[in-house]
Amino acid sequence: GAVVSQHPSRVICKSGTSVKIECRSLDFQATTMFWYRQFPKQSLMLMATSNEGSKATYEQGVEKDKFLINHASLTLSTLTVTSAHPEDSSFYICSASRQDRRRDTQYFGPGTRLTVL
Amino acid sequence: DAKTTQPPSMDCAEGRAANLPCNHSTISGNEYVYWYRQIHSQGPQYIIHGLKNNETNEMASLIITEDRKSSTLILPHATLRDTAVYYCIVRSRGGATNKLIFGTGTLLAVQP
Q: How far apart are CA A43 and CA B21, in angstroms?
A: 18
Q: For chain A, which ranges sit under pLDDT 50? A: none
Q: CA of A10: which chain B residue's CA is closest?
A: B41
Q: Taking phi first (over 0 means left), then psi (-120 to 50 degrees means alpha), and beta for anything else, what does residue B19 get? A: beta
Which residues make Cβ contacts (< 8 Å) with residue B104, sequence separation at least 6? Answer: A43, B6, B8
- β-strand pairing of B9-13 with B18-23: unpaired
Tell me which chain B residues have a C-beta less than 8 angstroms from the C-beta of A49. Answer: 97, 99
Residue A98: per-residue pLDDT: 82
pLDDT in single tens digits along all 112 residues of chain B = 668 999 999 999 999 999 999 999 999 888 899 999 999 989 999 999 999 989 999 999 999 999 999 999 999 999 999 999 999 999 876 655 578 889 999 999 999 9
Which residues make Cβ contacts (< 8 Å) with residue A100, sequence separation at least 6? Answer: none
- Residues B61 and B35: beta-carbon distance below 8 Å: no
- Residues A71 and A56: beta-carbon distance below 8 Å: yes
Residue A12: per-residue pLDDT: 97
User: Burial of B24 by CB count in 10 Å (0-12 exposed, 13-18 middle, 19+ buried)?
Assistant: buried
Q: How far apart are CA B8 and CA B22, in angstroms?
A: 11
Task: Please indicate whether, in this complex, the C-beta atoms of A104 and B93 are within 8 angstroms of each other.
Answer: yes
Amino acid B17 reads A
- Residues A93 and B43: beta-carbon distance below 8 Å: yes
Task: Please indicate whether, in this complex, the C-beta atoms of A49 and B44 are within 8 angstroms of each other.
Answer: no
Bridge partners, B53 (sequence order): none
Minimum-distance CB partner of B97 among A49, A109, A110? A49
Residue A88: per-residue pLDDT: 96
Q: CA of A3: which chain B residue's CA is closest?
A: B45
Residue A103: per-residue pLDDT: 62
**DSSP category for residue B40:** T
- Tell whether omega for the bond before B21 is within 30 degrees of 0, i.e. cis: no
Residue A1: per-residue pLDDT: 65
Tell me which chain B residues have a C-beta less than 8 angstroms from the C-beta of A104. Answer: 93-94, 98
Q: How far apart are CA B79 and CA B97, in angstroms?
A: 35
Q: How far apart are CA B82 and CA B12, in angstroms?
A: 10
Residue A97: per-residue pLDDT: 87
Task: Please indicate whether, in this complex, the C-beta atoms of A95 and B100 are within 8 angstroms of each other.
Answer: yes
Tell me how crowded residue B51 is: count the other CB atoms within 10 A of its CB. Answer: 13
Q: CA of A40: which chain B residue's CA is closest?
A: B41
Chain A interface, best mutation among B99, B106, B107, by max A CB count within 10 A: B99
Residue B94: per-residue pLDDT: 60
Q: CA of B96: which chain A residue's CA is closest?
A: A32
* Span A8-29, pLDDT tens digits: 999 999 999 999 999 999 998 8
Q: How far apart are CA B43 and CA A17, in angstroms?
A: 25
Tell me which chain B residues have a C-beta less than 8 angstroms from the C-beta of A36. Answer: 102
Chain A residues at the B interface, defined by Cβ less than 8 Å, are 1, 4, 6, 32, 34, 36, 43-46, 49, 57, 91, 93, 95, 97, 104-111, 113
Taking the mean position of all CA atoms in its chain, how far away is CA B52? 14
